């Protein structure tokens, strides 16, 4: 049985979380819940999108989804910015400045689970509703959270790597920065799942400070100190890029298997060249679409999202399935020219209370 079959080549929003009763996009936009709000629908709303880091293909694709949904709705404008590198100290002043510009709402990928609570609370206290996308905070003050099921995606990565190395040998995690909800959860899911394989030894985790060059240096050093290393899991785009680069530098392509979280252009090249063996693609466009839909509904009706958690899927990408259009649609973008609005709805990915991931 192939890796794709065992892990779920399309571990999509429909398979990672059971959806509630679905509604079509048309029903969502024009259904009964919006009758009687014509006056508010006529108003244009301004949503500020604060990315986790600027220039990351994951967040670029999320922005494409947000803008496509805004265009479809017709009364939303999106303003996007973000820090040049990951860091609460860089994101906080951006958030503060955005609040001063008085947008109607903010969607943000917080850079720290605890450190961003106070700045987000200040925004809310100033009258600006805030919704978290991708990452989150250890609080429930935000309107809602829209993200990948990162614990489950980490488990999928572990199963894929286990099969790639024949369910035996040493494995290692290259992570990004401690205290980020998403990557902490991926590491958790990976470690929990890999422990189920009796002939696989987990030999540790190191952090790359969200720097691909630092990740490459970590992996190069690890391959020298642990020559029997069989597999590596890179927990985000930059860590995964660095993992593949480190394997190349040490002449271990094909010998050391790499599971790469995210699916940016460089990671696709790594997959095709053999430097990476599996990509775990999130659905950032879907996250952007759902976030804007939820904020639109709140701004036009005054009703907060219910439930507060929305969990999108992840797709396993291999050399064998990358050309399948149903899979290729989840490859991350460098710009929005070819983005196509999907028919995903918040109702489809609303997480039941008992299935809500913990940060």
* Cα 215 from chain centre: 19
Note the helical H segments in 37-148. Answer: 38-41, 57-73, 88-100, 117-125
Q: How far apart are CA 295 and CA 303, in angstroms?
A: 10
> For residue 352, what pLDDT is reported?
79
The pLDDT of residue 31:
35
The span from the CA of 234 to the CA of 244, in Å, is 9
How confident is the model at residue 10, as a pLDDT? 39
**Residue 238's closest CA among 220, 269, 206, 216?**
216
How far is 175 from 159, CA to CA, in rounded Å?
18
Determine the pLDDT at residue 18.
29
* Whole-number Å distance between alpha carbons of 259 and 193: 14
Q: pTM score > 0.85 for this model?
A: no
Q: Mean pLDDT per segment of 10 residues, for the chain of length 359 residues?
A: 44 34 32 37 90 95 98 97 95 98 98 96 98 97 96 95 96 94 94 98 95 96 94 94 94 95 93 94 97 98 96 94 95 95 95 54
Q: DSSP states of 150-166 as a string?
A: HHHHHHHHHHHHHHHTT
Q: Which residues pair with 279 in a beta bridge?
A: 260, 317
Number of Cβ within a 10 Å radius of residue 30: 12
pLDDT at 7: 47
For residue 179, the model assigns a pLDDT of 87
Measured between alpha carbons, how far is 92 from 106 in angstroms, rounded to an integer? 13
- Short-list 312, 309, 250, CA closest to 275: 250
Sign of CA dihedral 16, 21, 24, 28: negative
Domains detected in the chain: 15-147+283-311+343-354 (3.40.50.2300), 150-282 (3.40.50.2300)
E strand segments, the chain: 45-50, 76-81, 105-108, 130-133, 145-148, 169-175, 200-207, 229-234, 257-261, 278-282, 309-312, 314-317
Pairing of strands 314-317, 309-312: unpaired
């Amino acid at each position: 049985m192939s890796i794709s079959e065992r892990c779920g080549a399309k571990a999509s929003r429909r398979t990672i979380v059971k959806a509630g009763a679905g509604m079509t996009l048309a029903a969502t936009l024009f259904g009964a819940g919006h009758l009687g709000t014509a006056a508010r629908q006529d108003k244009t709303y301004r949503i500020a999108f604060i990315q986790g880091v600027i220039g990351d293909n994951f967040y670029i694709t999320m922005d494409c989804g947000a803008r496509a949904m805004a265009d479809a709705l017709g009364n939303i404008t999106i303003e996007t910015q973000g820090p040049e590198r990951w860091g609460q100290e860089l994101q906080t002043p951006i958030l503060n400045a955005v609040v001063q510009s008085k947008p109607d709402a903010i969607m943000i990928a917080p850079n720290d689970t605890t450190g961003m609570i106070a700045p987000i609370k200040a925004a809310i206290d100033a009258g600006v509703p805030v919704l978290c996308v991708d990452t989150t905070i250890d609080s429930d003050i935000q309107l809602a959270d829209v993200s990948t099921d990162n614990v489950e995606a980490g488990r999928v990565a572990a199963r894929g790597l286990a099969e790639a190395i024949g369910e035996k040998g040493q494995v290692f995690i290259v992570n990004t920065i401690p205290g980020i909800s998403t990557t902490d959860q991926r590491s958790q899911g990976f470690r929990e799942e890999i422990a189920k394989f009796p002939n696989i030894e987990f030999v540790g985790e190191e952090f790359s400070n969200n720097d691909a060059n630092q990740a490459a240096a970590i992996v190069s050093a690890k391959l020298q100190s642990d020559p029997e290393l069989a597999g590596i899991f890179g927990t985000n785009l930059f860590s995964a890029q660095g993992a593949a680069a480190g394997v190349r530098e040490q002449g271990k392509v094909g010998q050391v298997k790499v599971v790469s979280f995210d699916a940016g252009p460089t990671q696709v090249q790594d997959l095709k060249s053999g430097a990476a063996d599996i990509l775990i693609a999130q659905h950032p466009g879907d996250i952007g679409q759902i976030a804007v839909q939820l904020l639109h509904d709140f701004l036009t009706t005054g009703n907060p999202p219910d439930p507060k958690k929305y969990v999108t899927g992840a797709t396993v990408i291999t050399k064998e399935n990358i050309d399948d259009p149903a899979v290729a649609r989840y490859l991350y973008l460098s710009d929005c020219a070819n983005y196509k609005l999907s028919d995903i709805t918040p109702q489809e990915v609303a997480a039941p209370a008992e299935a809500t991931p913990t940060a």
